[in-house]
Structure 1
Amino acid sequence: MKISELFTKIEKNTFDNIYLILGKEEYIQEKVIKTFVKCIPEEERAMNIGQYDMEVNLLTDALNDALSAPFFGEKKLIIIKRPLFLTADNKKAKLEQNTDELLKYIKNPEPRTILLLVAPYEKLDERKKITKQLLKSVTLVESGYSSEQDTLKEVSKIISKNGYTIEAKAYELLKIRTEGKLSLIMNELPKLFLLAYKTKIINEEMINRMVARTLEQNIFDLGELVLNDKVELAIEMYADLIEQHEEPLKINAILIGQVRLLLQVQILQQHGYAQGNIASALKVHPYRIKLALQNNRKYSKKILSEKYAGLVRLEEQMKSSQKGAEQLFQLFMLGYFSEKR
């Protein structure tokens, strides 16, 4: 089920017993939670809404609450956040959860309880018995990354509601700084509202002042230098990043990820995939796919493959060689880790 369909059903006061909200867009998930909360009368919320974080609370406690009848009300809402037991990263969990109890609850849910599982993950481990059963039995709502159009619509609505406007160039820069992610944009807006309090107009200078560049954006620029064989500039920028105490292996991992994405997008595009289909297939934010499609016009598959292989060899050298990271990066830029050598 899409988010829009969910909101339509809630407006009609039509509810299912169990929902699974899946996706990494935090803003959308919080909006879903707030919408469900509003369905419980305000005077009943203290007794008929329970929130449980699976990193600090037991699943057993949440389900016991779900099984109990509403207190002087028609229905109750139980929210289970961060169900790590549904993913392949369950080893990272601080608590061991009894998922057999959830399997029992799925078969016989309390009809007056709305159980909302909020999973802020890109994907679940579908090999697990509990995950398979959930996906078969409950209402799955995917809160994946918003499209560029939906993001613009939501951001424009919030800006207008607060009595502000944003210049076109400022919005473009804001998208770049936040990688087009709706949650990140929404996090930045309160600071921008304060800065633009007098004029009520958010401009490009304000974005530059308040919204910092991320490490990934700096490394994106480095990646452009690498792919264009700008040897001196790339070495200089790499040295600056090291001076800022960035980890060499982390820098290299992000570079590898960027080049890999360009390769994947180029291959899928050659097979007839459209922008939206590529984003869904790779589970990557649509804005990153848009940038990759724009950049792919500059580079051949051969160049991307060679740089990718060179970066993988650079990582191997970083882990095994006695040479320093800057020296190894210089050798990489000079072609010492290419297949030709």
Structure 2
Amino acid sequence: MALKSFFKITNPNKPNLLISGSSASLNDLLLADYLAQPTFVGYERITLDLELEPLDELIATLAESSLFSTQKIIVVKNPLFLTGKLTSFKQHELTELENIFAQIDTLDHVVVLKADVAKLDQRRKLLKLVKQHFQVMLTDFKPFVLPQLVDELVGEHDFTIEPTAKKELLNRSNNQIDPLIANLNKLYSATSTHTITVELVRANIEQSIEQNIFEVLTAALKHDYTQMLTLFDDQMRQGTAVVQLTSILSSQLSFIVSVKILSKRMSEGEIVAALKAHPYRVKLALQNRAALAMLVAKQKGIIELEFGYKSGQFQGETPLKSFLLTF
């Protein structure tokens, strides 16, 4: 299965392409796959970034490329003319680009637009022309697809990944595609066996601060105070600000409370949709056996504690540590 098969594609036979989605790392992989096609061997490649270069540079490149026999691939990063972002583009430049895009099927070059944004400005005339004349690949995806994406990404590098290693990798990447791709690149370089094991993941990929703090909270909720204090002190030694730690704990408690409340009238899948949360986070929250009344009380307490830290009423780690010992 090709990586692009995971995403919605329109006009699949058009040579010009728009890749759009919030993950820059994923878009880069899809761009590299597209440019690596045998069809484009021998093409001259030009890359323009419209956050750094003026629009008239792109227009000149497009106009110039049609005058010569050398075929070109023009990669346009940050095509701001498709987004709602304010730009200094002049109207006559936009009109000229619209005229070029309207007849781009007849030109001898290939244009690839890479927009690392979640949403494009549907009001733009240029976007309407792109939808008509370009292949369009939308790369945002539902969270439940991420484990399958891991298998595909690993397979494209001729690696395999053990199920426990995949679970650990997803956890240590916060179930987010950009850090996941970065972590996979570390793992590819860390072994010569082409097999990713859970030991390899643990040895090379650090847990995020959110994961470390979640383990602090989990230990407190289980009344395992020895483990909780050990994890808490480890986090402090790593230089985590107590205000940041309190804020993350507050957010995590609020999430668990929300899931517990919604679980009284919603299925697990409905909760995922309602909170727009990753399914694994919801599953962990549902597995928590703490009483809702206690969690609500602790939520109120940590909100007050967070306010106290931010207002200067509390300082140092003792107030937070003492609070966790009351669970």
Match of 1:93 in 2: none
Distance 1:2 1:97, change over 3 A: farther
Percent pairwise identity: 17
Task: Determine the C-alpha separation between the residues in 2 that align with 1:324 and 1:227.
Answer: 24
Task: Determine the C-alpha separation between the residues in 1 that align with 2:276 and 2:125.
Answer: 21
Q: Does the alignment pair 1:294 with 2:284?
A: yes
Q: Which runs of 5+ in 2 are unaligned?
A: 105-109
Task: Determine the C-alpha separation between the residues in 1 that align with 2:302 and 2:126.
Answer: 39
Match of 1:249 in 2: 243
Distance 1:103 1:204, change over 3 A: same
Q: 1:273-312 counterparts in 2 under 5 A?
A: 275=269, 278-279=271-272, 282-284=275-277, 286=278, 289-298=279-288, 299-312=290-303
Task: Determine the C-alpha separation between the residues in 2 that align with 1:210 and 1:60.
Answer: 46
Cα offset for 1:100? Answer: 5.6
CA contact (8 A) 1:177 1:217 kept: yes
Q: Does the alignment pair 1:220 with 2:218?
A: no
Structure 2 counterpart of 1:143, which letter?
A: T
Distance 1:146 1:75, change over 3 A: farther
SS across alignment from 2:74: strand
CA contact (8 A) 1:20 1:116 kept: yes
CA contact (8 A) 1:227 1:303 kept: no
Superposition RMSD on alpha carbons, in Å?
Answer: 4.1
1:20-56 deviations in whole A, cap 9, x for unaligned?
A: 61223x443123322443467232233xx333052x4
Q: 1:69-80 counterparts in 2 under 5 A?
A: 69-70=65-66, 71-72=68-69, 76-80=73-77
SS across alignment from 2:14: coil
Q: Which runs of 5+ in 1 are unaligned?
A: 91-95
Q: TM-score when scaled to structure 1?
A: 0.70
Distance 1:20 1:66, change over 3 A: farther
Alignment: residue pair count: 309
SS across alignment from 2:49: strand
Match of 1:14 in 2: 14
CA contact (8 A) 1:164 1:200 kept: yes
Match of 1:29 in 2: 27
Q: 1:102-141 counterparts in 2 under 5 A?
A: 104=95, 108-110=99-101, 111-112=103-104, 114=111, 116-120=113-117, 123-124=118-119, 132-133=123-124, 137=128, 139=131, 141=137
Task: Determine the C-alpha separation between the residues in 2 that align with 1:238 and 1:202.
Answer: 30
Task: Determine the C-alpha separation between the residues in 1 that align with 2:213 and 2:196.
Answer: 27
Distance 1:330 1:227, change over 3 A: same
Structure 2 counterpart of 1:174, which letter?
A: L
Q: Does the alignment pair 1:320 with 2:314?
A: no
Distance 1:176 1:30, change over 3 A: same
Structure 1 counterpart of 2:20, which letter?
A: I
Match of 1:50 in 2: 47
Match of 1:4 in 2: 7
Cα offset for 1:326? Answer: 0.8
Match of 2:204 in 1: 210
Cα offset for 1:221? Answer: 0.7
Q: Does the alignment pair 1:167 with 2:162?
A: yes
CA contact (8 A) 2:76 2:114 kept: yes
Match of 2:173 in 1: 178
Query: Which stretch of structure 1 is more off in the superposition, 214-223 or 305-314?
Result: 305-314
Q: TM-score when scaled to structure 2?
A: 0.72
CA contact (8 A) 2:43 2:70 kept: yes
